Structure formats: structure tokens, C-alpha cells
Amino acid sequence: MQIFIDSANVKQIETWLAQGVVDGVTTNPSIMFKDGVTDLEDGARRLSTLLGDRPLSVEVTSNDHAVMMVQARTFATWARNIVIKIPIINEFGESCLGVIHGLTQEGIGVNATAILSFNQAILAAKAGATYVSIFAGRVADEGNDPAVVIRNVRNWVDEWESPARIIVGSIRSVIDIQSAALAGAHIITIPPQFLPKMVDHKYTRETVRQFVQDAEKTMEQMRKGKAAVAGSTAL
């Protein structure tokens, strides 16, 4: 399973890249805004350089299919690792599958986003999306169980040998990460504030504290032992 960071915060991404756990980054216009990106091209180029070969998802900013196509082609020229996020439908409920299909036919990688149901996910995969992004938190907002949607999509992908990879996003708490992983997500895109919580555990701290304290006692004992031997040979 891969871990992506759901952020445009360069410092945070650098921190977690250095820990060896980051396989890619996802952004959207809300994340860019929250993380202070004022120039989309500049922000995307900086993030893509940071990531090397790892994928960076950048989302189109229009409801219009023709504009989506133009933006996607432009974004794709900024760096080789840029994948274009296309919503499964626009805000008027019009299908964006044609855009997803058209871009993949041109060899541009697509992350089909804002997916909230099994049916949306399988259509995006059929249209050729490299990634299908299931928004777990938003599925739960509507009273549905994200784990069921993720598991069903994963079963379908495996059964029909679809090359589409499932990204689970819209992570709202640490337990969402565990649920998504166990439900079969290929990738989970995690807001960086949850990563320190994933790695920490108070009993691990206590355990390490005990080892460090005992190591100090052992060192002291060894020092005393050496001193006693040195004293006896000096006589």
C-alpha cells in the first residue's frame, strides 16, 4: 500500500519524505488556498521537483469540459510527474468521463476525484483513470460506510483486473486510515497532521524510557567493574 500526503505544504512534505514514507502528493484548490499557494504553476512546479518521480495530483479549476481539457494539457507540461485531477461530475451533475477518457487517450495521467459511490468509481476506472479517489470522510458525512465502498471497489478492480488504483482521501481521523487500509485501499492520501499521531504511542515512549534508564544503570555498573579490575591489578 502506498501513502500520499494530502497537502501543498512544502515543509511538511519535506519532513515526511525524509522519513521514507511518502509515495506521492495530492492537492486540490482548497488545499492550495489553505497552504498559501498563490501561483498554481509555481506551486505545482515546486512540489513536483520536491517529489522527484513520485506523482503529484493537481486539480482543474473549471466546470467546463473544454476548459478542463485545456488546463489539463497545460498542467501536464509543467512536470512529468503531474497527474490531473478531474472530478467525476461537475457541479451541475454533468459527467466528466469524456474528459477523463480523452486525457488518458492522450497519455495524460488522470486522478478521477470526488468519488462517493461504487458506481462512480467503476465508471471512472472504465474510462481509463489511473487513480480513482474515494472521499471516505464525505461518504461517511452522508451516513454511508466508506469501508464498504472501498472494499466493493477493490473487489471489482481485482475481479476484472482493472489497472486503476484506489486512492482513499478525505481522511478526518487516524482510525479512518486504518479502516481504509484494511478495506483494501491501494493508496491513502493523508493530511500531514495525522502522521505524527500514527507514529506515536505513549506506551512505546514509556518502554524506550525504561530501556534508556536501564542502559544508564548498566553503563554505570560496567564503569564500576572496570574501575575495580584496574584497582586490583595496580596492587
Residues that bind ligand E4P (CB under 6 A): 6, 26, 28, 30-31, 113, 133, 135, 137-138, 169-170, 189
What angle is formed at CA 34 by the lines to CA 32 and CA 39, rounded to 5 degrees? 35
Question: Which CB atom, from 30 or from 232, has the smaller least distance to ligand E4P?
Answer: 30
Smallest distance, ligand E4P to C-beta of residue 31, A: 6
Instruction: Read off the DSSP letter of residue 192.
Output: G
Catalytic one of 11, 34, 85, 126: 85
Question: Is 224 noted as a catalytic residue in this protein?
Answer: no
Rg (C-alpha) for the chain, rounded Å, is 24
Smallest distance, ligand E4P to C-beta of residue 139, A: 10
In the complex, residue closest to ligand E4P by CB: 169
CA dist., res. 215 & res. 82, Å (int)? 49
CA dist., res. 124 & res. 213, Å (int)? 56
Which is it for strands 165-169 and 2-6: parallel, antiparallel or unpaired? unpaired
Smallest distance, ligand E4P to C-beta of residue 192, A: 12
Question: Which CB atom, from 138 or from 165, has the smaller least distance to ligand E4P?
Answer: 138
Number of other CB atoms surrounding residue 225 within 10 Å: 10
Question: Which CB atom, from 81 or from 133, has the smaller least distance to ligand E4P?
Answer: 133
Q: Which residues are part of the catalytic machinery?
A: 85
